[in-house]
Chains A and B, each alone.
Chain A
Amino acid sequence: MSKVVVITSGKGGVGKTTTSANIATGLAQEGLKTVAIDFDVGLRNLDLVMGCERRVVYDFVNVIRGEAKLQQTLIKDKRVESLYVLPASQTRDKDALSAEGVGRVIEELKEMGFDYIICDSPAGIEKGAQMAMYFADEAIVVTNPEVSSVRDSDRVLGLLAAKTSRAELGGQPIRTHLLLTRYSPAMVKKGEMLSVGDVLELLGIPLLGVIPESKAVLQSSNKGTPAILDETTDVAQAYLDVVSRFVGQERQHRFIEEEKRGFLGRLFG
């Protein structure tokens, strides 16, 4: 059975595209056939983060308009078997995504046997964001421990509960998960950053994982290689845990407490 998962947040710059790239890559590494769809029409970026920008020929809007076939539009990843990217269009036409068209493409992806369809939402709560969440079975709400991000996440949770196919048809509500990114345990300890507990209390949805603030995120997007592929970094470890939890395995939460460093570590760190 295919699962449609939206990666959303409301606020921009919190790590939706990074998370989409890493979770899609991680799921594919588990042998699950996965596609990541970029819903950010006009501001395509998932292709860059995934390192396949030079292989884009057709895009999501071409498929919706019947100008290209889905098979010829999907970009197959060169590093991980069973991983595909469906790039966004660079058109400035805001109404390029229709519920009917998006639904048709998602249906076709399901027929092609994809296990996971990851929808990378644009920022905001306009059409693109609404289309990205409309057909979702599950939602990963990416939040930074910061006031505007938490507030926007709460607003998005409201939309997930009201303006989606499941909400309108009266089915099971969308399963929501919190992913806290850019977390700095040292700042939390000093009382300068909202803690995991604070955010959980405010938003009231289960925690999928915590991704620590790290240089590795920028370095991986510089290279166009999702961070999860370099297992030596803390970010990769955190995303590997997230993927395992997402497919139902137990993993202890890490990166919540400040790393204990020895005397020498402190001297040379």
Chain B
Amino acid sequence: MSFFDYFRKRPKSASLAKDRLSIIVARERAGGSRNDRADYLPQLQQELLAVIARYEKIDISNVVVSLDRHGGSEVLELNITLPEGSQPPASGSPRPSFA
């Protein structure tokens, strides 16, 4: 450590630890580590994708399912981006068959 370093204020490691922990703890709580009810989110995303894929060619990254918390209530957010230029399926386009 040089003489001048002595006067320079460096961030203390404890405050770094606290900042990193605040973020990870908040994220894990929201992700369901304190609430295992939201375990189904990845599966929900897969199943939604399977349903949408029957009508539209769509990439998995265009289906986003997330669970947010606002005060006491939980909000399930579903965001599906349809490909550009997509059209509502005309009759004769692939549909589930009821044969």
Contacts and interface: CB of A to CB of B under 8 A. Distances in A.
Interface of A: 146-147, 150-151, 154-155, 157-158, 161-163, 188, 190-195, 198, 202
B20 A147 contact: yes
B17 interface: yes
A191 B13 contact: yes
Interface of B: 12-15, 17-18, 20-22, 24-25, 28-29, 33-36
B28 A188 contact: no
B22 A202 contact: yes
Contacts of A193: 14
Given A147-B20, A202-B21, A154 B14 contact: no
B34 A161 contact: yes
B40 to A, nearest CB: 14
A119 to B, nearest CB: 21
B21 A147 contact: yes
Contacts of A190: 12
Majority secondary structure, B binding face = helix
A202 B34 CA distance: 13
Given A194-B17, A198-B18, A162 B29 contact: no
A188 B18 CA distance: 12
Contacts of B33: 154-155, 158
Q: Chain A's interface: helix, strand, loop or mixed, by majority?
A: helix
5 contacts: A158-B29, A162-B36, A192-B13, A194-B17, A198-B18
Contact of A158 (B13, B22, B24, B35): B35
Given A188-B14, A193-B14, A195-B14, A155 B28 contact: yes
Given A147-B17, A151-B24, A202-B25, A192 B12 contact: yes
A194 B18 contact: yes
A151 B34 contact: no
Contact of B12 (A147, A162, A163, A191): A191
A176 to B, nearest CB: 12
A194 B14 contact: yes
A61 B4 CA distance: 63
A180 to B, nearest CB: 14
